[in-house]
Each structure stands twice: as structure tokens, then as C-alpha cells.
């Protein structure tokens, strides 16, 4: 597949995430762990939306930087819903093989999730 086709595939996968479509994610073996864990985030932040900010490809690898936003309306890590809006960055790398994501690394900025919810202290000014 071309670089452009690989990037379009990753965009389509992220659209499936925004639709909370686990079946579409299951078509990509690289998203196995995501399929196991993301329902917890969807339960706590049902309006979670991923917006791609930057994306580029090199061969069968696609790098993507996204802004993720949501509202804490369900329990998360023992914290009752706060109604707080969160926003954090996810940087991810995906390797594409035969039109499927076969390897996925997603690195979220968990500090930007945990601090607003009081799970870790905020940085001192």
C-alpha cells in the first residue's frame, strides 16, 4: 500500500474509535490491547473524541499525533464522575501490513488525565 493509503487506513481506524466500534478495531490485530482496555475509557468519558493533529508515513509505518477530549461522566480508577473536561495528547505508531494494522504503539499523556481528576498532584508553579 502507498503511504497515503496507510495514513488513510489509520484515519479510518481512529474514526472507528470515535464511533466506539470495537468490531472495526478487531479487524486489526495490532489493536488487540486497545480492544481490551478502551471500553473502560468510553465508560468514564463517553464523549471521548480523537482529533488527528499531525500524521506522516514512512514505508509501512504511520506516525500520528492526536488531541483527545472528553468529559468525565462515569467512574474512572475509583474516582466518581466529576463532570470535568479533559484534553490530552496521544502519539502513536502503527505498522500496516496487507491493509491491516499489525502493530500499534499508543502513548497517551496520562498526566493530563490523572491530574485534573485528582489522582496525582498537580505540578508546583
pLDDT tens digits for 89-119? 999 999 999 999 999 999 999 889 888 888 8
User: Contact at 8 Å (CB) between 87 and 78?
Assistant: no
Q: Which three cell numbers stand for residue 105?
A: 504503539
What is d(CA 4, CA 60) in angstroms, rounded to the nearest whole number?
A: 10
Q: How far apart are CA 9 and CA 112, in angstroms?
A: 28
Residues of the chain with pLDDT under 50: none
The reported pLDDT for the residue numbered 124 is 74
Residue 98's SS3 state is: coil
Instruction: Determine phi and psi for 20, rounding to 5 degrees.
Output: 60, 45
How far, rounded to the nearest angstrom, does the alpha carbon of residue 13 sit from its chain's CA centroid? Answer: 10
Report the pLDDT value the prediction gives residue 96, as an integer from 0 to 100.
Answer: 98
Class of domain 3-114 as given by CATH: alpha beta
Amino acid at each position: 500500500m502507498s503511504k497515503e493509503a496507510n495514513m488513510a487506513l489509520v484515519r479510518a481506524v481512529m474514526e472507528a474509535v470515535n464511533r466506539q466500534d470495537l468490531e472495526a478495531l478487531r479487524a486489526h490485530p495490532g489493536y488487540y490491547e486497545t480492544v481490551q482496555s478502551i471500553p473502560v475509557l468510553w465508560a468514564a468519558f463517553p464523549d471521548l473524541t480523537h482529533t488527528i493533529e499531525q500524521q506522516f508515513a514512512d514505508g509501512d509505518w504511520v506516525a500520528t499525533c492526536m488531541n483527545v477530549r472528553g468529559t468525565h461522566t462515569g467512574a474512572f480508577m475509583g474516582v466518581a464522575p466529576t463532570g470535568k473536561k479533559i484534553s490530552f495528547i496521544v502519539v502513536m505508531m502503527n505498522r500496516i501490513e496487507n491493509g491491516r494494522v499489525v502493530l500499534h504503539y499508543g502513548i497517551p499523556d496520562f498526566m493530563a488525565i490523572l491530574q485534573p481528576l485528582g489522582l496525582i498532584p498537580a505540578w508546583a508553579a
